[in-house]
């Protein structure tokens, strides 16, 4: 692995957003548009974390080799951050999506709470760099007990986000790497290639919106490029389309 100064990260600011389950990652992470919605103010100290359960290793052997293979159990991961707004939407994220709104406008705490299911996006900004975690489907619910410990800092609602497999995906969440080369063009082929040389494949079809196709006429049968999520896309003469040209 080569040393890459541009791949280091010091978080200067960030945002946490939700959208309906299955919503694609926005093409422009710095200006995500509807249906993505910001969850609100979050902690400056407890910015973000990932905890996990499972992943235990079991050594499998034979009579000839006692340590032939290692098998790992499934691992469940939870992203954590602290929300510092106490409006209705925030309280329902913490206490449960089924928390009822009572006649006086207060939020009732349900006896059998249900987590909120949504697509989730965490974006961190470091100068000209930006870095994101994206889950097309996740369950959001309280991660820890709430405590208001003093009168000098903002109170918070500790939230946990559990990414879940969506559809036929073999992954639960995606992370955008730092230090890569931005794709500006795509050349037809079977598969085609991205330009400039060494450019990272766009994350998904939505991320192809600013990529210039070569040729600019409709690509011919079988031509396509492979995107970062392993899906295919091709240019139909006017727009990027999922799949390969027929």
Model pTM?
Answer: 0.73
Please list the residues that pair with 116 across neighbouring strands.
Answer: 140
Please list the residues that pair with 201 across neighbouring strands.
Answer: none
SS3 of 90, please? helix
Q: Where are the beta strands (DSSP E) in 106-204?
A: 116-126, 129-142, 157-163, 174-175, 185-187, 193-195
Calpha distance 193→185 (Å, rounded): 9
Calpha distance 187→34 (Å, rounded): 31
How many residues can be counted in the chain?
246
Calpha distance 140→79 (Å, rounded): 9
SS3 content of the chain, % helix, strand, coil (to 5): 5, 35, 60
Residue-by-residue pLDDT tens, the chain, 246 positions: 567 787 889 999 999 999 999 998 887 888 899 999 999 999 999 899 999 998 899 999 999 999 999 998 888 899 999 999 999 999 999 999 999 999 999 999 999 999 999 999 999 999 878 889 999 999 999 999 998 989 999 999 999 999 999 998 888 999 988 866 678 899 999 999 998 877 788 888 988 988 999 999 999 999 999 998 899 999 999 999 999 999
Residue 40 falls in which region: left (phi positive, over 0), alpha (psi -120 to 50) or beta: left
| Helix (H) and strand (E) counts in the chain | 1, 16
Residue ranges of alpha helices (H) inside the chain are 88-95
């Amino acid at each position: 692995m080569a040393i890459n100064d541009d791949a280091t990260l010091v978080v200067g600011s960030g945002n946490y957003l939700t959208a309906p389950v299955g919503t694609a990652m926005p093409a422009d992470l710095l200006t995500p548009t509807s249906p993505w919605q910001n969850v609100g103010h979050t902690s400056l100290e407890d910015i973000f974390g990932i905890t996990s359960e499972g992943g235990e290793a079991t050594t499998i052997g034979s009579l000839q080799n006692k340590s032939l293979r290692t098998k790992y159990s499934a691992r469940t991961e939870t992203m954590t951050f602290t929300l510092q707004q106490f409006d209705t939407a925030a309280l329902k994220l913490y206490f449960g999506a089924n928390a009822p709104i009572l006649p006086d406008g207060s939020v009732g705490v349900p006896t059998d709470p249900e987590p909120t299911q949504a697509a989730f996006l965490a974006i961190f900004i470091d100068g000209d760099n930006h870095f994101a975690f994206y889950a097309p489907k996740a369950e959001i619910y309280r991660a820890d007990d709430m405590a208001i410990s003093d009168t000098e800092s903002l109170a918070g609602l500790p939230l946990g986000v559990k990414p879940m497999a969506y559809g036929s995906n073999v992954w639960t969440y995606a992370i955008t790497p730092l230090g890569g080369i931005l794709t500006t063009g795509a050349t037809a082929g079977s598969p085609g290639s991205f330009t400039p040389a060494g450019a990272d494949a766009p994350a998904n079809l939505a991320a192809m919106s600013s990529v210039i196709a070569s040729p600019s006429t409709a690509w011919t049968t079988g031509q396509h490029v492979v995107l970062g999520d392993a899906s295919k896309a091709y240019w139909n003469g006017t727009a990027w389309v999922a799949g390969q040209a027929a």
